[in-house]
Structure 1
Amino acid sequence: MDSSLNLLFSPKFKFSSLLRIIFCLFLFNRSQGQQHLMAPSGPSSLQVKITSLPLHVSLAQHLPQMVFTVVGRFANERIFCVSESPVSQLRFICVDCAQRNITDMFDYLNRAQDMTHETGFPTVTLPSVDANPAWTGASIMCQAAVNGGTKDSPVSVIEVRYLRNVHVVDTSGQGPVLIPNQGFHFYVECVRGQDGLCQPSARRKTLRCAVQANPPANKFGWLKNGQVISGNGPEITIGTEMIGHSLQCAANNGLYSEENPLKSEAVSIDPYTAARLLQDNFQQAQSSTPFQSGNRVEMGQSIQLNCLVEGNPRPVVFWKLRRPNGAVVDAACPQGLNGQYRETAALVTGGPQNGAVVPPPIQPTTNLIRLQASCILHVANYSFSGQYWCSACSYVSQGFPECSPGLDTPGERLLNLQVQGAPQMSEVEPSVEQPEDRSSAIVLVHFCAEPSPRPPRELVFTIDGNDIQLGQQFQHFTFDNVIQNNTVPNCFVARLRIAPVREDDQGRQIVLRVQNQFGTKHIPVSLGDLLGVDASQMGTFPGWAVWLTVAALGILFSCSVIYCMKKNLLCFYRMKDGQQYSTDNLKAGVHDSYNDENANRQLFGGSNGHEVMRPPSVSSASEPPPMTIYMSREAVV
């Protein structure tokens, strides 16, 4: 130190050197100060965190997992995003919501609230929310805007913890039946003895406690009439001892207290007597009008079918039809809850009557409901042919009912119906078969008739007014054959061969005429639709396109004529007056009848002294035309 001072104040030390040292020290301190000021706000050192408490970013701990615990309606947790100056804006963003098809997350994240004024540093928070369980697994970040750029926080993965929708279902997962003004009901089978009471040997029913939860529910309980009963598993088996009581289940996954788990709604347990068919009128209907021999019914007739059913809960009836091809469909009758019913208390005693299918006696009980279901069939077409039956059904839970006989398999009692009448078009539209080169085609026309038509007179193709009977040919059209449909009775396919296919075939008028003793049916066939638009090489040019082309050519021709007239082109070229006459005419002494002098007198008064330039007159046919400039007589000076 002393040596430095001695050097500083020595006579050899110059003042300029001192100034250089001071300037260097100033620059060094300035650079250090700038680095110190820039260190907290640089992109590498700026911190952004997602936290559970509004603490300063230097003290806060980032949440790698964002948990929403929904107890009741809204989640209890508060989620914050914190950072430090000079951050100008904070926002939450979802990284993979689009890939996960989560759409309601964006609106929630956009509702983040600014708390910077309360905390004194950049802070935003998410409001309480009824978190969607589908959010579980989504990745969330907090993004900070700083100095024209952005800084992202580490990713937080959402987990939604919840327990909701506790309810009682059967072993197939179906819930109880909801009866208006009576609540939910499950049914236990009741087989009554001679005393009219349900026997304990009846089939028992297993119920299950269903719940939606994350994490999964691990504790269950059951309540009878609101009181806890034995059994802590998710299933319970009940019998006739529960008839007339209510049942509830409770579930918990740790989100609720053990003393107050989440409970289901109460379900009433009622006796269930399977619906059954007591009798029908099928045999009686088939032995009366309008049925004819062979179970035939003419088209346009009506048939009334009746079925007497019994059961508890209130039974319903489904009417089914098995077509000749084996397909089972709903009959053209009011079905199920929309059916036509009449409640009856009539007893069936003695032997089977009108097709009764249960042994006598049948004694009604106070809790059994007996109904007569009716269906009136209006036979409109050949699709009514087939076998009919009715199924007595009971809804003992949500979903499909329990039925006897089954909905897909008939019982022993059936009504057979064979429709007859005038020919009709089949449900299958006309079609065409073509090879790959589209050089030929086979047109298939479907029709139904009972009795079937008798060729050749009752089955004819008409091509532009020319009849073709079976096996005949007209031009390149041949009526090949008629094939019976193996799956639908009384339905056939007529085959018309076109070989080769020509350009004008799409414009042909083709009709299949089918006739039997009940009437005649004309079935038109549109080759334009069957052969398709792609077959332009084999079809005529569309009429609208022809007219459009003709109109365009006409307009183009008119415009060309007008243009040529305006421009004096082609045959519309206007010749000069001196060139209008041929040399022969000049030699013949043909003169222009136009009188220049008379014209001048009419235009200028004749004595006004004006001169008019005139073409030289032709004095004789032998004189050649003068080699002078000729001006039209319209040119006036």
Structure 2
Amino acid sequence: MGKGIKKRARIRESALRNRVKICSYPEIYGSAMRVMCDTVCALVDVFDSCTSFRPRVKITDEPFPVANAQALNRISWTLIGTTSKDQVYCVSEEPASQLRFVCLNCADRNVTDLISVLSNAQDLTMNAGFPTVTLRNIPINPNWTGLVITCQASFSIGGIVDTNDSGQTTIEVRYLRNPRVVYQSGRGPVLINQAYRFYVECLRTSEGRCQSGPSKVIRCSVDAQPQAKVFKWLKNGVVTSGNGAEMTINADMIGRSIQCAANNGLYADSEMPTSQAVLIDVYTPARLVETNFPSLRSKEGLFTSDNRIAISKEFVMECIVEGTPRPEVFWRLQKNNGEIVYVDCIRPQYIVENSLRDQKTSQSISGERLKASCPIRIQNYSFTGQYWCAACSRVAEETHECNPSLDTVASVALTVQVEGAPMESDTPPSIDRQYDAKDAVVTVHYCVDPEPSLPRDIIFSVDEHEIQIEQNWQNFKFEGATTNNTVPNCYLARLRINPVREDDQSRNVVLKIQNKYGSKHIVVPLKALLGGEGIGSSSFPAWAVVLICFFCIVLLLTVFVMNVREAYVDDVPRPIYQASGQPAEVMRCESRTDSAYQLYLSKEAVV
């Protein structure tokens, strides 16, 4: 029932109580109250009349008249494919003129597709002979389970439009879809050569034969409501004896295909949905066989002592790996600050090499062998660190098993220490200055290895005046250079300006660095750094601020005086008398104490 119905019901009950109280004791309330009694009785009759004409509304699964229809408090839609063959009806009676389905909690659950479906219900009133709408052959969403709908009937009595609602009905969607075979962890099989595969590790004998290795547990995963209770497993298309949701596989099942079927009561046993076939294949963990790191270290003209290499040098790292399935190779770099990243190879190459194979199965005994190459050109100091390659096997979707690890430096690694001429860092110069402070510190970032020799190899130049570390020139001081702990081989040079003056923005400031490989001049944009701080005290003269404030005050006072003068200056005197001889302005007021009239002249009429 709607809010209007409940309100009228409360008014009716109150009227009934008053009718009994007044009409039952006329001797107490007197004849004058009989009029009120009659009015109350008439109101009650009107309410009874209106209530008797309110159309009934029901949600049902059969298109019967509302008097014979069975109201549903729960509807079940069975989803086979994308639509449901189940039909739901809303039936009513005269004087209902319009029926519509309404979702009561779609907004709370942020469901919009059901609202669209309900608004497109089919009207069968003409065929049924009574108000009827239906939902049939509609697209079903499994997320509708738990939503509550009602049917609302609109009607008109005496020109007043009102509504009446059916009882609430809860939706239940029954479905079963997407059975698939997965590992116990939930990871699915790997798609290789157009076939889904699971891998079982085997222990090789000295002759290369595969013996039983560690077993693995797979399970049948299915999206269903209610939950699936019946499972079947198929090996090479034949049903096995197992009927649980899980199954153990080992080396004895290598070469066979596995499928699972599931049911939650929606299908016949012969029509149970079945997963795609998954091939059980042999798994040999990927491993690193050999690298060319020792030969790179000893290569003439490439590395110097302590694994040092000059900027612009080039070399190619190589790794040989093997395993089944064919391994994937990932190149990793740990920088001096501990960060581990993937190596940016110029044009990586992968070559499959011949390997020893079983004569019966044609499978590799020790696994597929792969030679991976990673060409590198040293461009800057960020190439400093430890390099290694990891041999990885993709045994499940989005899962790799790697040897060595991707996240730990391998025991076999290539250490690279980049050295060269000074370079400007990727971090631009910056300034540290408080709003009300008189001084500022400019920081310039640079990278170099080996470090410059102090004090002559690193200086600040201010208007061609060179300043070494701890030296001053006017209001500039070179405080020193410190190591940047986040970027290898990089440093920070600090220049203090105390105090900051107006003409400092026009200074020509340059950081000059040099070592045995070369030199670098880094221009410091002092004007942009000081001007970008938004500090008026340092970039705008104080006398100009005072002068502007003075002119603003004078302007405000002038405007104020002009407005006051205009308000108090008298207008041009007006004539006292008109052409008729009457005063130009007369005000007549009626006295509050008598009926006589008093005349008052305006101030211009008084001489």
Equivalents in 1 of 2:285, 2:247: separation in Å?
A: 22
Q: Does 1:90 align with 2:99?
A: yes
Counterpart position of 1:449: 448
CA contact (8 A) 1:505 1:540 kept: no
Report the Cα offset of residue 508 of structure 1.
5.5
Equivalents in 2 of 1:153, 1:465: separation in Å?
A: 91
Counterpart position of 2:311: 299
2:121 to 112, 115, 139: 112
Counterpart position of 2:3: none
Structure 2 regions of 5+ residues with no counterpart? 1-41, 357-362, 542-547, 549-607
Report the Cα offset of residue 287 of structure 1.
0.8
CA 1:346–1:188 in structure 2 vs 1: closer, same or farther (change >3 Å)?
Answer: closer
Q: Does 1:191 align with 2:203?
A: yes
Equivalents in 2 of 1:379, 1:161: separation in Å?
A: 62
Equivalents in 2 of 1:141, 1:430: separation in Å?
A: 67
Structure 1 regions of 5+ residues with no counterpart? 1-29, 348-363, 543-548, 550-637
Counterpart position of 1:231: 242
Equivalents in 2 of 1:459, 1:404: separation in Å?
A: 46
CA 1:239–1:31 in structure 2 vs 1: closer, same or farther (change >3 Å)?
Answer: closer
Equivalents in 1 of 2:223, 2:531: separation in Å?
A: 55
Residues 468-487 of structure 1: pairs in structure 2 closer than 5 A? 468-487=467-486
Report the Cα offset of residue 480 of structure 1.
1.1
Equivalents in 1 of 2:75, 2:348: separation in Å?
A: 55
Equivalents in 2 of 1:505, 1:112: separation in Å?
A: 77
Over residues 391-428 of structure 1, what are the superposed CA-to-partner deviations in whole Å (9 max), with x where a residue is unaligned?
11111111121111111113321101011112223344
Counterpart position of 1:615: none
CA contact (8 A) 2:55 2:95 kept: no
Over residues 12-44 of structure 1, what are the superposed CA-to-partner deviations in whole Å (9 max), with x where a residue is unaligned?
xxxxxxxxxxxxxxxxxx999999985554xxx
Structure 2 counterpart SS, 1:212 = strand
Structure 2 counterpart SS, 1:457 = coil
Structure 1 counterpart SS, 2:239 = strand
Report the Cα offset of residue 215 of structure 1.
1.7
Report the Cα offset of residue 162 of structure 1.
1.5
Structure 2 counterpart SS, 1:419 = strand
Counterpart position of 2:143: 134
Q: Comparing 457-466 with 60-69, which one deviates more in the overlay?
A: 457-466
Q: Comparing 65-74 with 225-234, which one deviates more in the overlay?
A: 65-74
Structure 1 counterpart SS, 2:154 = strand
Opposite residue 420 of structure 1, the aligned amino acid is E
Q: TM-score, normalised by structure 1?
A: 0.71
Counterpart position of 1:350: none
Report the Cα offset of residue 266 of structure 1.
0.7
Report the Cα offset of residue 465 of structure 1.
5.1
CA contact (8 A) 1:483 1:492 kept: yes
Q: Does 1:74 align with 2:89?
A: no
Counterpart position of 1:278: 289
Q: Does 1:143 align with 2:142?
A: no
Report the Cα offset of residue 257 of structure 1.
2.5
Report the Cα offset of residue 120 of structure 1.
1.3
CA 1:429–1:237 in structure 2 vs 1: closer, same or farther (change >3 Å)?
Answer: farther
Q: Does 1:165 align with 2:165?
A: no
Counterpart position of 2:327: 315
Structure 2 counterpart SS, 1:395 = strand
Counterpart position of 2:587: none
Counterpart position of 2:112: 103
CA 1:475–1:252 in structure 2 vs 1: closer, same or farther (change >3 Å)?
Answer: farther
Residues 173-188 of structure 1: pairs in structure 2 closer than 5 A? 173-180=186-193, 182-188=194-200
Equivalents in 2 of 1:524, 1:290: separation in Å?
A: 33
Equivalents in 1 of 2:280, 2:487: separation in Å?
A: 48
CA 1:346–1:196 in structure 2 vs 1: closer, same or farther (change >3 Å)?
Answer: closer
Counterpart position of 1:369: 368
Q: CA RMSD of the aligned region, Å? A: 3.2
Structure 1 counterpart SS, 2:78 = strand
CA contact (8 A) 1:188 1:205 kept: yes
Report the Cα offset of residue 129 of structure 1.
3.1
Opposite residue 252 of structure 1, the aligned amino acid is N
CA 1:436–1:537 in structure 2 vs 1: closer, same or farther (change >3 Å)?
Answer: closer
CA 1:204–1:455 in structure 2 vs 1: closer, same or farther (change >3 Å)?
Answer: same
CA 1:121–1:326 in structure 2 vs 1: closer, same or farther (change >3 Å)?
Answer: same
Equivalents in 2 of 1:460, 1:392: separation in Å?
A: 48
Equivalents in 2 of 1:103, 1:464: separation in Å?
A: 69
Report the Cα offset of residue 431 of structure 1.
3.8
Opposite residue 255 of structure 1, the aligned amino acid is L
Equivalents in 2 of 1:540, 1:456: separation in Å?
A: 33
CA contact (8 A) 1:52 1:79 kept: yes
Opposite residue 404 of structure 2, the aligned amino acid is P
Report the Cα offset of residue 234 of structure 1.
1.7
Opposite residue 209 of structure 2, the aligned amino acid is L
Equivalents in 2 of 1:346, 1:262: separation in Å?
A: 41
CA contact (8 A) 1:192 1:199 kept: yes
Over residues 517-555 of structure 1, what are the superposed CA-to-partner deviations in whole Å (9 max), with x where a residue is unaligned?
22333334445765685633345369xxxxxx9xxxxxx
Opposite residue 383 of structure 1, the aligned amino acid is S
Opposite residue 126 of structure 1, the aligned amino acid is L
Residues 383-402 of structure 1: pairs in structure 2 closer than 5 A? 383-402=382-401
Equivalents in 1 of 2:468, 2:405: separation in Å?
A: 48
Q: Comparing 487-496 with 397-406, which one deviates more in the overlay?
A: 487-496
Report the Cα offset of residue 303 of structure 1.
0.9
Give me the identity figure in percent.
48
Structure 2 counterpart SS, 1:88 = strand
Opposite residue 370 of structure 1, the aligned amino acid is R
CA 1:534–1:298 in structure 2 vs 1: closer, same or farther (change >3 Å)?
Answer: closer
Equivalents in 2 of 1:252, 1:233: separation in Å?
A: 12
Residues 527-566 of structure 1: pairs in structure 2 closer than 5 A? 535-538=534-537, 540=539
CA contact (8 A) 1:169 1:208 kept: yes
Structure 1 counterpart SS, 2:83 = coil
Report the Cα offset of residue 134 of structure 1.
2.0
Structure 1 counterpart SS, 2:279 = strand
Structure 1 counterpart SS, 2:204 = coil
CA contact (8 A) 1:505 1:539 kept: no
Residues 335-374 of structure 1: pairs in structure 2 closer than 5 A? 339-345=348-354, 365=364, 368-374=367-373
Equivalents in 1 of 2:98, 2:499: separation in Å?
A: 78
Residues 398-437 of structure 1: pairs in structure 2 closer than 5 A? 398-435=397-434, 437=436
Over residues 147-178 of structure 1, what are the superposed CA-to-partner deviations in whole Å (9 max), with x where a residue is unaligned?
34443333323222211111111122211111
Equivalents in 2 of 1:410, 1:250: separation in Å?
A: 45
CA contact (8 A) 1:504 1:538 kept: no
Over residues 468-506 of structure 1, what are the superposed CA-to-partner deviations in whole Å (9 max), with x where a residue is unaligned?
332223443322111113454321111222334456656
Opposite residue 167 of structure 2, the aligned amino acid is P
Counterpart position of 1:58: 67
Greater strand content: 2
CA 1:519–1:140 in structure 2 vs 1: closer, same or farther (change >3 Å)?
Answer: farther
CA 1:387–1:158 in structure 2 vs 1: closer, same or farther (change >3 Å)?
Answer: same
Equivalents in 2 of 1:327, 1:110: separation in Å?
A: 57
CA 1:84–1:515 in structure 2 vs 1: closer, same or farther (change >3 Å)?
Answer: farther
Equivalents in 1 of 2:535, 2:167: separation in Å?
A: 64
Q: Does 1:219 align with 2:225?
A: no
Equivalents in 2 of 1:462, 1:47: separation in Å?
A: 94
CA contact (8 A) 1:506 1:539 kept: no
Report the Cα offset of residue 509 of structure 1.
5.0
CA 1:39–1:411 in structure 2 vs 1: closer, same or farther (change >3 Å)?
Answer: closer
1:332 to 332, 337, 344: 344
Equivalents in 2 of 1:411, 1:328: separation in Å?
A: 12
Structure 2 counterpart SS, 1:401 = strand
Counterpart position of 2:271: 260
CA contact (8 A) 1:447 1:493 kept: yes
